[in-house]
Structure formats: C-alpha cells, structure tokens
Amino acid sequence: MTQRINVTDFNLAATLECGQAFRWSRDADGWYTGVVWNEVWRLRQDGNNLEWQCSRGPARGQPNPLPEPRADSRLHDYLTLDLSLPAIVASFPQDAALQQAVEAHWGLRVLRQEPWETLASFIASSTKQIVQIRQIVAHLAERLGENGAFPAVERVARAELPALAACKLGFRAKYLLAAARMVESGAVRLAELPAMEYGRALEELLKIPGVGEKIANCTLLFSCGHHEAFPIDVHVQRSLKRLFPRRKLTPPKIRAHFGPYAGWAQQYLFYAERIRARPA
C-alpha cells in the first residue's frame, strides 16, 4: 500500500543523500529504500507529492507493505516536516557561500533519527568515507540486529569485541562497545538528551571515550532536536576557512554567528562542500 502526502519546501534526494543518514539507497526508478527503527520504508518524491511505503519485519527480501494508520505523523516527524524551512533559512546569516548552498539544495531538512543508531553510526564514522560508514552500519544491522534493524543498545553491550571488529569497525570497536555499556548502565543518559539544555547534553555525550565534539554534535543535531549543534569535520572546516580567512573561530562564536538553527546551516555547507570536492 502506498500513501501519498503533500510536501512543500522539501527535497527528498538532498535530505537522504546529504550525509546525515547511512541506511538509504536509491533504486533505478527513483525510489529510496531504508530501514527506520524496525521497519523498511520506501520513499519517492515527484514535485510536491511524496509517496511512502512501509513494511514491518525483514529488511532483506521482498517488502510486505501493510496499512499504517499513524504513518503520516511518524513520517512527518522523521522528515522534520513540522518546521518551516523558510523561517529557518531566514534566521541564517547572509554569507554568500551559505546562501548559494541553500539555493542549490533547497528543501534539504535535518532528520529526526533514532539517538542510539545515530550515536553508534557516528562513532563508526571517524576518519572513514561515507561509503564505508554505510558498510559498517549495514554489517552491524546484518550481524547483530534483528530482521535487519539496527542492533539495540543491549545487543551491542553484550557483544564481544571481535564480533564488533568483524563489522569493520577497526579501532572504533572498543569505543562502540564502551558507548553501549555506558548507555545501558545509565552512566550516559541518552534518552534524556533531547530535554537537556544543549551544553549539558554535549557534556553528557563527551563522557564516552571515542566521542569528541564532532560526534557529540552530530548526535545532538541529527537525533536529539538540538538544532544549534554545529559539527565541525574536515569539510566544514575547509568551508569555514574560506568564509572567515584567518579568523579565530571558537564553537560558541560559530553558533552565535549562524543562529538558533546553526546545525541546519552547517548541513547545507557540508553538503555543498562535499559536492564541490567530489562532483556527482
């Protein structure tokens, strides 16, 4: 069964391919297939029309679409369709590079993903190319998850280090295991991050070994609703260097400059910079 909803100021391709999610792939016919929570979703956009299919259960094999009465609200929530993109963009500074990125990729939205999967995925991301991050996440889901879903905190916490290393995590395996155990034990209160003040939530995540400012900010932005979180990786660093040549930039100054939705601005800069470095 296919549901159709009307969308405005939304760009499915940019949203799913901008590097914030690692489980989406595009078919030849324009459908995107991904695993969200424990379900397989398929999405396709044609102008203001968004088509959505959902099937519970196995990620492998043929999806078995089922009617989903509350589908619309879950889809709206995941895609952050409740926020006004024009209002967000209006809060951005007038930097030419940022305005160009917004124009080029209009409709890119920061998703609301599941916090544990997001934290784990970005722990796996350090000094890895996006294609490899996708492979690691797929390995984790296939080898440790149930029916293709990303493995729950408890599953990872009880895994052996070699089993994680077999998912191509390399030296990051010990960090993922530590993160799972700290979340499971309550040493890191992952579920409470969305309700915490930004600075407090950042400190909470920095308790985890292998999690620094970059990974913590990715988790806060992409899964905890902290839109001011501004992850700085090598690409964004390059972009900032061009925007502000020989300027001393601290994270608080950067967040102040880009405003309450600094993280959204960051994602436009990141995507534009990555395409600039590696044209499609």
d(CA 166, CA 180): 17
Beta bridge partners of 51: 4, 44
Q: Which of 65, 107, 194, 210 forms a contact with DNA (CB under 7 A)?
A: 210
Which one, of 222, 220, 228, 221, lies nearest residue 201 by Cα?
Answer: 220
Q: Strand, coil or helix: what is 4?
A: strand
Nearer to DNA, 38 or 132 (CB): 132
Nearer to DNA, 133 or 140 (CB): 133
Kindly state whether residue 211 participates in binding DNA, applying the rule CB under 7 A.
yes
Whole-Å CA distances, 58 to 53, 64, 89, 146, 151? 14, 9, 38, 8, 13
Please state, as a whole number, how many other Cβ atoms lie within 10 Å of the Cβ of residue 162.
8
Kindly state whether residue 232 participates in binding DNA, applying the rule CB under 7 A.
yes
For the bound state, the minimum distance from the C-beta of residue 64 to DNA, rounded and expressed in Å, comes to 31
Question: Could you give the count of Cα atoms lying within 13 Å of 90 in the half-sphere of its Cβ?
Answer: 5
Q: Which of 18, 36, 79, 179 forms a contact with DNA (CB under 7 A)?
A: 18
DSSP 176-216: HHHHHHHHHHTSS-GGGGGGS-HHHHHHHHHTSTT--HHHH
Binding mask 71-110 for DNA (x = CB under 7 A): ----------------------------------------
Stretch that binds DNA, among 50-58, 111-119, 127-135, 151-159 (CB under 7 A): 127-135
Stretch that binds DNA, among 5-13, 48-56, 59-67, 118-126 (CB under 7 A): 118-126
Nearer to DNA, 75 or 182 (CB): 182
| Measured distance between the N- and C-terminal CA atoms of the chain, rounded to whole angstroms | 33
d(CA 101, CA 114): 27
Nearer to DNA, 71 or 202 (CB): 202
Q: Strand, coil or helix: what is 55?
A: strand
Stretch that binds DNA, among 15-23, 60-68, 78-86, 100-108 (CB under 7 A): 15-23
d(CA 243, CA 234): 14
Nearer to DNA, 54 or 111 (CB): 111
Question: Could you give the count of Cα atoms lying within 13 Å of 41 in the half-sphere of its Cβ?
Answer: 21
For the bound state, the minimum distance from the C-beta of residue 27 to DNA, rounded and expressed in Å, comes to 20
CA 239 to chain centre: 20
Stretch that binds DNA, among 9-17, 97-105, 192-200, 231-239 (CB under 7 A): 231-239
Q: Which of 74, 168, 181, 189 forms a contact with DNA (CB under 7 A)?
A: 168
CA 176 to chain centre: 17
Q: Which amino acid is at 23?
A: R
Q: Which of 218, 224, 240, 262 forms a contact with DNA (CB under 7 A)?
A: 218
Nearer to DNA, 3 or 126 (CB): 126
For the bound state, the minimum distance from the C-beta of residue 266 to DNA, rounded and expressed in Å, comes to 6
Q: Which of 209, 241, 242, 256 forms a contact with DNA (CB under 7 A)?
A: 209
Residues that bind DNA (CB under 7 A): 18-20, 122, 125-133, 165, 168, 170-171, 208-216, 218, 231-236, 266-267, 270, 274
